[in-house]
Amino acid sequence: MEIHPECVPCLLKRGLFETSIVDEDKKREVIEEVLPILEENFEPGAVSAEVATKVHGKIYEILECDDPYLEMKKQSNANAEELLEKAKNILDRDSLRDMILVSIVGNVLDFGYRDDIVSADYLLKEFENLLQEGLECDDTDKIEAILQKGEKVVFFTDNAGEIVFDTLLLKKIKDYDVHLTVVMKGAPILTDATIKDALKYDIDDIADQVDTTGGFAVGVDFDLLPEKVEQKLKEADLIIAKGMANWESFSESDYSPIAFLTRSKCKPVSKTMGVPFDKNVAKLFEGAVPVTH
């Protein structure tokens, strides 16, 4: 996805949020260092996820912290664990649609971009409401049709907390007798889950293979992607990508078919994906991803 004007204040706001978590006294320095990066990179054709990676890389350097969201991620996981049994009781675990829905609902745990989502407790308050909304964009029948005949699936995870609910979906995907590769972040960035989360929640036992994106990047930096993961993408009968940052990255690629599972929390993402804003979205692209600028 090309960077939009709305991305600039969003990145600044997120940077200030990260700074407030680690060291309030560095807010001015963060702004002074980040503004030139945004000025230099805000140009036609610039990919939003790539610019965001540069911005957050500089912020982490200034803060001298490689995981500003660490405690929030731990709380997100704990809250999701608390809700997991409720999800199992409410939802039909034999239903792919229900497992996709709960996985997407977990995607709301993304901090610093909205004034009302600044704590992991947001999910505790809104969980059932978000489930009751259902899927505004629902391509689960098409996704299931591919799973029924396909052999190889690659699944890119997104946030901590969300990863707890992903385990339900991953188990359901394995019911289709496919080879499942799960790809986690290669280094801590934002609220994203890492390989430590995969091991904590036994994803290495659920999936046939667990890999990483290869390094520090918002979404996916395809230049860092390990060769074995790149090969998996080329061979995949279905790629499943969770969250907005993965949309920002994969919408610039030629990989297909891709099912994007996300809460459409950002207006540029909603617009380019062609879906309503702030809804639960399961959208399949079977050919080249047609991005609406």
Q: Phi and psi dihedrals of 152, rounded to 5?
A: -130, 125
Q: Tell me the whole-structure pTM to 2 decimals.
A: 0.94
What order of strands is seen across the sheet that includes strand 137-138? 137-138, 280-285, 258-263, 238-242, 152-156, 179-184, 209-212
CB 167 within 8 A of CB 201: yes
Q: Convert the pLDDT of each residue in 94-121 to its tens digit.
A: 999 999 999 999 887 665 555 565 556 7
The average pLDDT across 17-41 equals 96
> Peptide bond before 257: cis, by omega within 30 degrees of 0?
yes
Domains of the chain: 7-63 (1.10.8), 71-285 (3.40.50.10880)
CA–CA gap between residue 56 and residue 190 (Å, rounded): 8
CB of 55 closer than 8 Å to CB of 30: no
Give the percent of the chain with pLDDT over 90: 83
Q: Which of helix, strand or coil describes residue 222?
A: coil
pLDDT at 119: 55
User: For the stretch 206-244, what's the b/e string if a residue is b when 16 or more beta carbons lie within 10 angstroms of its beta carbon?
Assistant: bbeebbbbbebbbbbbbebbeeebeebbeebebbbbbbb
Cα separation of 154 and 232, whole Å?
Answer: 7
Least confident of 81-85, 156-160, 204-208, 246-250: 81-85
Pairwise CA distance, residues 260 & 240, whole Å: 6
Q: How confident is the model at residue 125 (pLDDT cuts 50, 70, 90)?
A: confident
Mean pLDDT over each residue of the chain, to the nearest integer: 92
What is the C-alpha to C-alpha distance for residues 3 and 162, in angstroms, rounded to an integer? 26
Of all residues in the chain, what percent carry a pLDDT higher than 70? 94
